[in-house]
Amino acid sequence: MSKIKRLFSNYIFLRVIRAILTVFIVATLTFFIVRLMPGNPIEIYIGQLMSQYGMSFQDAKNQAAALFSIDLDAPLSKQYIIYMRNLLRGDFGVSFLSQGTPVSLMISAYLPWTIFSVGISILISFTLGITLGMISAYKRGSIFDHIMSTIAAILSAIPNYLIGILLLIIIGVQLGLIPVSAMRGTVSPGVKPGFNWIFIKDIFSHALLPIMTYVVSTIGGWTLSMKSSTLNTLGEDYVTVAKARGLPESRITFAYVGRNALLPLFTSLTMQMGFLMGGSALIESIFVYKGIGWALGASIAQRDYPVMQAVFLIITIAVIVANFIADLLYSKLDPRIKIGGE
Amino acid sequence: MKKVILTLLSLLLVVSLVSSAIAGGQFNGAWPYTPPPVGHFNSYATNAITLGMYWDLIEQPLAMYLWASGKWMPLLATKWSLNRKTNTFRVYLRKGVKWQDGKTFTAKDVVTTFYLGYLYNWAIWRYIDKVTAVDDYTVDFHMAVVCAPMVLERYVLRTQIRSDAVYGKYASQVIALLNQGKKSDSDEMKKLRAEFDQFRPDKMVGTGPFILDPKNLTESEITLTKFDGYWDAEKIQFDKIKVYNGETPVVTPLVMAKEVDYATHGFPPATEKQYIQMGIRIIRPPIYSGPAIYFNHNIYPFNLKEVRQAIAYAIKKEENAFVSLGDSAKRQIYMTGLSDNLVPQWLSEAVRKRLNKYDYNPDLAAKILTGLGFKKGADGIWVTDKGTKMEYELLVPAEYADWAAAAENAAEQLTKFGIKTTVRGITYAQHPTEVRAGRFQMAIAGWGSAHPHAHFSYYTDLVTYNYPSGLGPGMNFPLTQTTKSVGKVDLDKLITQSAEGYDVLQQKKIVEKLALAFNELLPIVPLWERYGNNPALDGVRVTNWPKEGDPIYKNSPYADNFVTIMILNGTLKPVTK
């Protein structure tokens, strides 16, 4: 017993070390890659003022003067050491483009909204997807299966931002079923955050369109994966044996087929953690939803290096932690799999 | 008795309904902004929530410019004058103006505004060395370098005035450092600037007719509410201005849903067409700039003016304009590097007659090239007298849809003529860097400037992407040239001189010289001038839009927006229901 315990501890220890190493590598790569991107915050700002507003170079340069306090000419090695030193202290630095605004403050303002909208949509999409996928598999060859599979294939092929725009234009503008302007953003003006019905109702109404978009754009993938996985499971010997033993159909469906068919999808679900933390820059921009994806999109457009680095790092950590948790949970879901390869 | 009460109640109801319809007017606009915590209310620092054209309604400037008449509309200033003996520009301020926090507007606020501008190297400080409050309502700007009155006027009058109560403590530190002889590049000044960059007032306090209350701000919209203490409050017809946040793709559905009364975003021609079909009017104000073909003059034969002229003849500029931006692009008529809208103001009739319009003439273009000893090969491509094929790359910022379309069309037309041109789109972020570094053959970049003084247009045309900018060789066009039209010229010197001194007639002569030289040399080939395609919704919330052709629409929407002016002078009115 103590041997297994020791091994278990050792395995976790190794995984933790590996995770830290991955985070370190990603942090380093991100630091250098964002600086390799064409242009810098000052050039971009001046260029935008000139091309968009017909501003003269002198005036644009003056307007961008506030940005010149950014020391982009400091040696890269020096910038890197400062960045890593701050990172070890949990300090992501301050935004280049809004001097004095800590990146951590920005993340704490944006991230909860992404977790809220994407989290709910993953939950809905996953639940609906696996249900529909299972039904399709059970009704293989039926009209329902054909229709479902076709719809799922179409939906999974359409980019989510296109679905977002279509929802907005068709439901909001053409049909006028929803108030387009009132549903933008995360919360209505004047609604104070708190655990009360007004606030909860308000944030759900604002998140409705992003959630619908995420669900519509991902449900097809879950449905098809679950259908395929269920079909494979239905052909397994233990299902035939269960049927031969005369077990109730509901028990076979949920305990034998459903549980086993779900296992491969579980890995995909954990991978969605990155999406949960990163959101979608395009969707959040379309609906003016103050999430982390929006912040990332804006920071990339403006080359706000500290914000970009922080968001990429958070996504990486989220994926690593989710995988780690998935590994641990896998053994619980499937007793055949043992931690540490035993 | 019962009847009388009922009649009175009905009257009261009617009156209240009518008055609420009039007083409750709302104007809906759109402008991109960054919400807190990145966005903030320090209107000097980047990412401040200033709302572009709506800023003038919150932190009001001293005056706004009416482009068609060349006159100013006084706001916080009542009059101004230039003392040519003492080189002083004196501004008399409006009395009785209150800040939104109840304090009185005085000369101190103006002094504070400009000294904090020194911290950010505002262009005006290239000419002035001192701003002094003569008394509570008079401010003097002393010029160390004499510049054109129009240039100085614009720098002074068009600046949004900030509250001394909010910013004064930083301005006084700037003044103290200047008194100690510390300049803007001193460590002390840099330190102060870094500190001030981080200053975050909890709200924006202005003198304008609308209040930006952070409570009415979300990431999707801001509602500005009327400031009853505004000095000209009776002219303001709207109680609220709602500004939707977002760039073009985000604002488009709102315009289509008739939720936006006016927007300045650059809408694609297809979207614009849909707006028109929906009954939304499109206003096309001049932007005073547009795209041009820039040449790398280090590359033979782009250093020959005849080749550049041939290229100008080989492109049907009307077609290029239309395919790029529909009715919101107009070919350059005078080809002077100055907006055609500014030409009557700067160039005499006699000079205008001397200008070559470079109308489409491929035969003449071919004749010019043949005259240089160039020959057309069997493959239809021109070969220079040095034996090199005329095959080039045209660099364009890929994200700018209208410029990219202009590049594609120009390349197509040039290839058809026999100058094989391939478009290479690169990210807008890298494009200026490549052009400034001279890493291009031909490139699309901007010409002109939304400034009424011609100096700024010529600076953009000849300096911004050229070696005098100090940011790289750029197109490397030598600014000392010998021309047929005006003889030997130093264009760099002429550009500087065009904004110096008080003699406006002398400046016009210099600008005429620049225009003639540009027209002959064509260092760059302007393709077209951009006009806005601003949707203006009539009759839903807002009415009384002036008819097309009204002089107010000559105002640049990004420099002195005509809607802002029409809200201030009461032209635009709410719909009464």
Contact across the interface for B37 and A180, Cβ inside 8 Å: no
* Shortest Cα–Cα distance, A185 to chain B (Å): 5
- For residue B35, the chain A residue with the least C-alpha distance is A290
pLDDT at B16 over 50: no
Contact across the interface for A289 and B216, Cβ inside 8 Å: no
**What is this model's ipTM?**
0.78
Residue B61 three-state SS: strand
Distances in whole angstroms, Cα of residue A164 to Cα of each of A72, A172, B251, B253: 37, 11, 14, 12
Contact across the interface for A181 and B244, Cβ inside 8 Å: yes
* Res A50: pLDDT: 67
**How many other C-beta atoms lie within 10 A of the C-beta of residue B315?**
25
For B6-15, B46-55, B371-380, which range has the lowest pLDDT when averaged over its residues?
A: B6-15
Q: Which of B47, B244, B250 sits opposite A286 (nearest CB)?
A: B250
- Per-residue pLDDT tens listing for chain A (342 residues): 566 666 666 677 777 888 889 889 999 999 999 888 877 788 777 776 665 555 667 667 766 765 656 666 678 888 899 889 989 888 888 888 777 789 999 999 999 999 999 999 999 999 999 999 999 999 999 999 999 999 999 999 999 889 998 988 888 888 888 888 888 889 988 888 888 999 999 999 999 999 999 999 999 999 999 999 999 998 889 888 988 888 888 888 888 888 888 888 887 887 777 777 777 888 998 899 989 998 898 888 888 899 999 999 988 888 888 888 877 777 777 766 655 544
pLDDT at B184 over 60: yes
Mean pLDDT over all residues of chain B? 92
What band does B133 get if pLDDT is binned at 50, 70 and 90?
Answer: very high
What band does B14 get if pLDDT is binned at 50, 70 and 90?
Answer: very low
Q: Considering Cα of B493, then B499, then B505, then B508, what sign does the dihedral take? A: positive
User: For residue B567, which of B230, B241, B95 has the smallest C-alpha distance?
Assistant: B241
Q: Once rounded to an integer, what is the mean pLDDT over residues B56-69?
A: 96
* Res B394: pLDDT: 97
Q: Once rounded to an integer, what is the mean pLDDT over residues B298-311?
A: 97
pLDDT at B503 over 60: yes
Interface probe, candidates A97, A288, A299, A304, chain B, greatest B C-beta count within 10 A: A288
Cross-strand pairs, B73: B64
Q: Is the pTM of this model over 0.90?
A: no
- The answer to whether B428 touches A47, Cβ cutoff 8 Å, is yes
* Res B417: pLDDT: 97
Whether B557 contacts chain A with CB within 8 A = no
pLDDT at B100 over 90: yes
- For residue A67, the chain B residue with the least C-alpha distance is B46
Interface probe, candidates B449, B467, B537, chain A, greatest A C-beta count within 10 A: B449
Work out the percent of chain B whose per-residue pLDDT is above 70. Answer: 96
Whether B540 contacts chain A with CB within 8 A = no
- Estimate to the nearest angstrom the gap between the alpha carbon of A111 and the chain centroid: 11
**How many other C-beta atoms lie within 10 A of the C-beta of residue B536?**
17
- For residue A53, the chain B residue with the least C-alpha distance is B558
Q: Once rounded to an integer, what is the mean pLDDT over residues B265-274?
A: 90
Contact across the interface for A168 and B253, Cβ inside 8 Å: yes
Local structure of residue B163 (DSSP, 8 states): P
* Res A339: pLDDT: 54
- The answer to whether B102 touches B95, Cβ cutoff 8 Å, is no
Contact across the interface for A98 and B432, Cβ inside 8 Å: no
* Res B9: pLDDT: 47
* Shortest Cα–Cα distance, B219 to chain A (Å): 6
Q: Once rounded to an integer, what is the mean pLDDT over residues B259-277?
A: 92
* Shortest Cα–Cα distance, A94 to chain B (Å): 10
Amino acid at B278: M
The larger pLDDT score, comparing residue A65 to residue B212, is at B212
Query: How many Å apart are CA A328 and CA B470, to the nearest integer?
Result: 60
* Res A342: pLDDT: 45
Q: Which of B123, B193, B433 sits opposite A69 (nearest CB)?
A: B193
Contact across the interface for B46 and A52, Cβ inside 8 Å: no
B534-554 pLDDT, tens digit each? 999 999 999 999 999 999 999
Whether B193 contacts chain A with CB within 8 A = yes
Token match 């931002």: residue?
A161
Whether B397 contacts chain A with CB within 8 A = yes
As to burial, measured by CB atoms within 10 angstroms (0-12 exposed, 13-18 middle, 19+ buried), residue B8 is exposed
Amino acid at B97: V
pLDDT at B73 over 90: yes
Q: Which residues of A touch B193 (CB under 8 A)?
A: 66, 69
**How many other C-beta atoms lie within 10 A of the C-beta of residue B286?**
24
Longest distance between any two alpha carbons in chain A, whole Å? 85
Question: Rounded to the nearest 5 degrees, what angle is found at the Cα of B129, between the Cα atoms of B123 and B133?
Answer: 105
* Res A281: pLDDT: 83
pLDDT at B408 over 50: yes
B435-475 pLDDT, tens digit each? 989 999 999 999 999 889 999 999 999 998 999 877 789 99
Query: How many Å apart are CA B109 and CA B162, to the nearest integer?
Result: 6
Query: How many Å apart are CA B315 and CA B321, to the nearest integer?
Result: 11
Name the most confidently modeled range: A265-269, B186-190, B339-343: B339-343
Q: Once rounded to an integer, what is the mean pLDDT over residues B217-227?
A: 95
Q: Once rounded to an integer, what is the mean pLDDT over residues B277-286?
A: 95
Q: What 3 state SS string does B278-325 have?
A: CCCEEECCECCEEEEEEECCCCCCCCCHHHHHHHHHHCCHHHHHHHHH
* Res A55: pLDDT: 64
As to burial, measured by CB atoms within 10 angstroms (0-12 exposed, 13-18 middle, 19+ buried), residue B69 is exposed
Interface probe, candidates B33, B40, B46, B528, chain A, greatest A C-beta count within 10 A: B46
Cross-strand pairs, B375: B383
Strands B138-143 and B128-135: antiparallel
Q: Which residues of A touch B256 (CB under 8 A)?
A: 169, 173
Whether B471 contacts chain A with CB within 8 A = no
Q: Once rounded to an integer, what is the mean pLDDT over residues B175-193?
A: 92
Q: Which of B46, B219, B459 sits opposite A185 (nearest CB)?
A: B219
Q: Which residues of B touch A184 (CB under 8 A)?
A: 220-221, 244
User: For residue B101, which of B46, B135, B58 has the smallest C-alpha distance?
Assistant: B58
